Every structure is written in C-alpha cells, then in structure tokens.
Structure 1
Amino acid sequence: MYPYGVKTLTPGQTVVEALEMLGPESSFRLEPLESSMYITPKAAKYNFRGKERRWDVVESHASVGVVLYHKDLDAWIIVRQFRPAVYATLLREAEAAGKPKPQYSEAFTYELCAGLIDKDKSNPEICKEEIMEECGFDVPLDGIREIGVGIASAGTQGSPHIMYYAEVDSSMAVAGAGGGLLGHGECIEVLALPFDSCQQFVLDGKLPKSPGLMFGITWAYFNKLNGSLGAPRVAAGGAGLQTGELVLQSVLPA
C-alpha cells in the first residue's frame, strides 16, 4: 500500500479505516442518474459534412489541482481516496471477463490535492481551502502560483482544469485539519512521495493515479531540478522523510 518510499502523514492506516466505513462490496450498485448538483448529461448535436451528428457530453464545473512540495521532507504531498467511478469501471470489467467482484481497495487512487470551482471565490482561494481541508496545511495566498490549464475528459466533459504549485513546511501544518470532509463522504489519506522516487512512481502503470498527478509532479520535478522553482530542495543526505517531524492529526473517528 506504500510503494516507492511513500509514507503516510495521517496517523493510522486510513485506507483500512475507509474500507471499514464503506461496508461490503455487495452494497455497491449503479442506478440511472436523475439529477445532480455537479454534472448534467446532455446530447450535443451539430452538423458535420452536411449531416447532423450527435455527441454525448457531461456539463460540469471547472476544477483546480495543486502540486504541493514539502520543503522539510523533500517530498511531494499527494492524497489517496476511494473513487466510486473507478470501482464501477473495475466492476464492469470484472463482470465482462467473468471474474469475481473486485475489492474496494483496488479503487483507491493517488491524486493531487484538488477541488471544483463551485464557490464565489478566486481560484487561489479555492486552492487554499482545498489544501487545508484535504492536506492540513495553511498556505498563504501569495504562495500559490498558476502553472497551466488543461481540459478534463475532453471526450465527454471538456471543462478547464487549472493547475497550481505551492510549497509547504512543517510550520504550516494545522492540528486536526486534513483528511477531507467526512460529512461529505470523504476519507482522504495524506501521503508524502519522496522527491527522488517520484518518476518511478508516476510511470508505474499498476498504481491507479490521475493524469493531473502525472503531469503536475513531472513538471515540478524537472523545474525543481533546474532551479526554476525558487529555493533548492533538501540536499542529498539531508533530513528528508526520515525526520518524522511532520505528523498530521487524524480527522477520522477514534
């Protein structure tokens, strides 16, 4: 559960705790979508070479993602959480292949800290809020910089995904913060991915991860190496992840 030197910054094994809260796989079911606060399925129709064409689309919010580098740990701060859509795909593939129903543990994905742009706030303000809720760090607004804009699921969704970069240290950790909002069904484990092993991690196709994480970490890795991202990283042989200085307080029930 912790490949390439990844270490949890959340006390306990939150994947295990999340699995306990999820209950049995037999309770998972798919139903027709009647209404949603987040997406609206529609059929787009347009003319192509004189004929009407149809393309199914999903209207949704734009989103932000944040690449976080921890200066004291010389590591990237990423998150891991259960994704029902990933499990639904695994379930469909297993049924088509005549295989047993997959376990929930297979649908936990590695991602950047991220969130929807669904509030009357600036993008950096939304990033700051998401960093606090998911990862437990209080990052100043002027420490959050935009690095690029992509398109999320261009084949169906087409919404902008704006990516940002920020650096944190142990002094920014807030006791009791991080882990997501349990009341919203979130159970997020905060992880530290060592700087030197991040490219092997990114390229390992067996580890379920988001494209945003793959691009963001790779972009920041090479920009950190060439000095484009300010202060140099912790020197080889420095404290790094072995210090154990940073411990985020769990927001999960005892």
Structure 2
Amino acid sequence: MEKISNVIMRPLERSIYLKPYTMHFTQNGQEKSWDLLGVHDSVAIIIYNITRNVLVLVKQFRPAVYLGSINIEDRKLDCPIDIVKYPPENGITIELCAGIVDKTLSLAEIAKEEVLEECGYDVPLNALQFINQYRSGVGTSASIQTAFYCEVTDDMKVSHGGGTNDELIETVEMSVDEIRKYVTQKGVVVNSPPSFLFGIYWFLLNKCSKL
C-alpha cells in the first residue's frame, strides 16, 4: 500500500466526483464569495465483530491527507514530490468502512454493499442500525453522511474484502483498548477523519458497556 512513487501535483483535471463552484452572495450588505465543491453523499459503518470482540476498520492511502503533510513551499505544480522527505505512509489513514451514494438503492443497501466490498462480511439488511446523519466538510462540500452500526461474526466473513478493482483497501482490526488508545493520542495528528472519531465515540458511549 505504501509503495507510492512519481507523485506530481497538477491543476484540477476533469472529474466525475468533484464539481467546483464559487458562490457569490451579499451578507449584511457586504459582497462575498466562497469556493465550494459538489460531491456525493456517503455512508459510513461502524462494524463490531462479536466473535473476537474487535472493531473492523479500513486502512487506505488518501492523497488529500498526504498533501496535507507536505509543506506549502514544496507543493509546486508539475514538480515531483520528494517521497523521501515526505514518506507516502503519511497519507495512510484508518477509517470506518464507508462509500459514496451513487446508486439508486436505499442507504442501508449501499451500506450493506460497502461492508461486503471493503471488509468481506455479508450482513443482512436488518443488522444495520441507523445512527444519524451529519454534514461532512462544511467549509467546502457539506455533503450528507449517514452512519450505521452493525455486529458481525466470523461466520459472516465470505471474502477478504479490499474494495473494488480501482481501490486498495486493507482491513484493520482493533480491540476496544486499542481503539481507546488510538483516539486519545497526545501530541500527534490522528490520521482519521472526524466521522471516524464520531463513530468510535458513539460506539464507546452506546455499545461498549452493553457488549
């Protein structure tokens, strides 16, 4: 996964996932503008394996996270990024199983598909517990993410997962103690998105004491 090379920054090219906009508006008599991105809504699933008492998470390389680790003066367009100075593992994140809403299916059906594709568990629809919906990236996109929770067993594991052909995703398992330590790290940036932290704290608050 960390075998990343030939990293080059270029201006935005044609994208099927991102639609850039600039919104112009007047607020309290002052003319303003704000750059925005139109993106797909998404689902995220907290998965707990009750056979071995571990949370099932995913690990993947996120270019945006990698970019965030690079000093601004080294982000020159059409110039190779120094991967010795900036190791690609800086862009590796731990996240909840998740995926975009790009099909004419219910949110639960999309969540079920993502659990199977990314983590290899075939879960029944009625095993997916709706948690909440919230805005993601309020400064740029404000897309809606829908969070679910499900419990799985080893018997539900039907494949290694890993995502679709154009993805490179690894499954990560963490005990409750391990996840507590991970989300309470001090002095380091937790390489996980806010939705991950929301999901983990929801699990610790609502499920951990009942398992």
Give TM-score, length-normalised by structure 1: 0.75
Q: Which amino acid aligns with 2:181?
A: Q
Q: Residue 163 of structure 2 corresponds to which residue in structure 1? A: 180
Aligned partner of 2:206: which letter?
N
Query: In structure 2, the residue corresponding to 1:77 is in which secondary structure?
Result: strand
CA contact (8 A) 1:131 1:137 kept: yes
For 1:208, the aligned partner's letter is N
Q: Which residue of the other structure, out of 158, 163, 167, is the alignment partner of 2:151?
A: 167
Q: CA, structure 1 residues 207+51, in 2 after alignment: closer, same or farther (shift >3 Å)?
A: closer
Structure 2 unaligned residues grouped into runs of 5+ = 76-81
Instruction: Find 2:203's aligned residue among 216, 220, 232.
Output: 220
Alignment of 1:131-146 (within 5 A): 131-146=115-130
Q: What TM-score does the superposition give when structure 2 sets the normalisation length?
A: 0.89
Q: Which of these residues, 105, 129, 133, is aligned with residue 121 of structure 1?
A: 105
Give the AA of the match of 1:42. Y
Q: Take 1:123 and 1:215, find their aligned partners in 2: how far apart are those partners?
A: 19
Could you say what the CA RMSD is over the residues aligned between the two structures, in angstroms? 1.7
Q: Which residue of 2 aligns with 1:200?
A: 181
- Alignment partner of 1:91: what SS? coil
Q: Which residue of 2 aligns with 1:210?
A: 193
> In structure 1, how many angstroms separate the alpha carbons of the residues matched to 2:183 and 2:52?
19
Q: How does 1:48-67 map to 2 (within 5 A)?
A: 48-67=27-46
Is the CA contact (8 Å cut-off) linking 1:143 and 1:166 kept in structure 2? Answer: yes
Deviation at residue 51 of structure 1 after TM alignment: 2.4
1:43 equivalent among 13, 17, 22:
22
Q: 2:49 — aligned with what?
A: 70
Tell me the distance in 1 between the aligned counterparts of 2:73 and 2:205: 38
CA contact (8 A) 1:199 1:218 kept: no
* Structure 2 SS opposite 1:28: coil
Equivalent position of 1:190 in the other structure: 171
Indicate the larger mover: 127-136 or 195-204.
Answer: 195-204
- Would the aligned equivalents of 1:65 and 1:163 in 2 still touch at CA under 8 Å? yes
Mapped partners of 1:210, 1:91: distance in 2: 18
1:154 paired with 2:107, answer no
Aligned equivalents of 2:73, 2:46: Cα separation in 1? 33
- In structure 2, how many angstroms separate the alpha carbons of the residues matched to 1:43 and 1:116? 23
Structure 2: distance between partners of 1:94 and 1:70: 44
Superposed structure 1 runs of 4+ greater than 3 Å apart: none
Which SS does the other structure have where 2:138 is aligned?
coil
TM alignment of 1:5-20, pairs within 5 A? 18-20=1-3
Q: Is the 8 A contact 1:94 1:102 kept in 2?
A: no
Q: Percent identity?
A: 34
Name the structure with the higher helix share.
1
